[in-house]
Amino acid sequence: MSVDISVIIPLYNKEEFIERTLRSVIEQDIENWECIIVDDGSIDSSMEKVKDFIKANPGNWNLVSQENSGQTAARNHGVRIATGKYLAFLDADDLWPKDKLRLQFDALESDHDAILVLSAFAIFKDHFSTPRVVRHRNPTRMNKRWLFMSGFGGGLESVGMLRRGMLLDDEMFDSSLSTSSGLDLSLRLADIGRIILLPQVGLYYRINTGQWHADTNELGRNLNILCLRYQARFTQNLAQSHSAYLFWVSARSHGTKYLVLSLFQALLSPRNRRLSILINLIWRNATSAQLGRSMRSETLTAINHLDR
């Protein structure tokens, strides 16, 4: 029987989380899937954890290894050996609710013009604080705000499911990008098909140390590439938006006093792009926090079940 969904998980030094991530896969309420775990040269006990889990939980697992080459290369490796009709991506420290694959599979099966489906996602740090919930409604607006760093991204690398065969499988994710390969792929997919945004939470995104997005130097390098690639589509200056976003990330890292001083300086120059980016960032965080509070009970219940 052919496989409906190939789940691809890049793995690098996630010994603390990988078993819980795999448990969220095996608990899916749809059965016809394969799960490809691509170890990217882990130097901790991640591989042993995966082997023990697979032995104790029989399923259509495929554990492969490569020399350390980064998450983008690991995802592409998984894509090349996948056999499923659809491809779903999941980071090795994140979690899926049990209906994630089924809802996205049904969405793609019922809309043959759709190429990618994304779901709402909850951002959590521990079992006690209120998660934030991100829910997009318009894919064009989502991609633009994601590219300009003025809104939350779509989370393609951990919540996306796409119809394969629409892009080259050997280089689906751009190998020149690390932190922004999912954004680039979302923009390219939007050019050739329709993106579906499901309102249901399809991902519990974990905040922890050592994540790519925390490396501002690497993020800046990625954003420079995206500027060259996509600036011609817009009248607004991408580089200015990216510079403003990186400025506020840096200001926050210098502490509250420096951040407040930077805010006053921005208020004195209201036409400065920094102020508009800051307003957008505050708005996105406020709206996701409000939605998170309204869904706190059900979200924490789900996280506590999966993250045990």
Helix extents (H) in 89-138: 100-110
Q: Tens of pLDDT along 183-239?
A: 999 999 999 999 999 999 999 999 976 555 568 899 999 999 999 999 999 999 999
Domain boundaries, the chain: 5-212+296-306
Q: What is the CA radius of gyration of the chain?
A: 19
Phi first, then psi: what are they for 256, rounded to 5°? -65, -40
Q: Lowest mean pLDDT: which of 28-32, 147-151, 213-217?
A: 213-217
| CATH class held by domain 5-212+296-306 | alpha beta
pLDDT, tens digit, 9 for 90 and up, residues 234-265: 999 999 999 999 999 999 888 999 888 888 88
Task: Give the tens place of pLDDT for each residue, 263-277.
Answer: 888 888 766 789 999
Share of the chain above pLDDT 90, in %: 85
In whole angstroms, what is the distance from residue 100 CA to residue 107 CA?
A: 11
Contact status, residue 2 vs residue 82, Cβ threshold 8 Å: no
* Average pLDDT estimate for 167-182: 86
Q: Tell me the two tokens of residue 298.
A: 């059900």
Task: Look at the alpha carbons of 87, 44, 179, 279 in this order and tell me if their dihedral is positive or negative.
Answer: positive
Mean of pLDDT over the chain? 94
φ, ψ for residue 271 (rounded to 5)? -85, -5
The tens digit of pLDDT for each residue in 115-133 reads 999 999 999 997 778 999 9
Helix (H) or strand (E) holding 39: strand 33-39
Provide the 10 A C-beta neighbour count for residue 103: 18
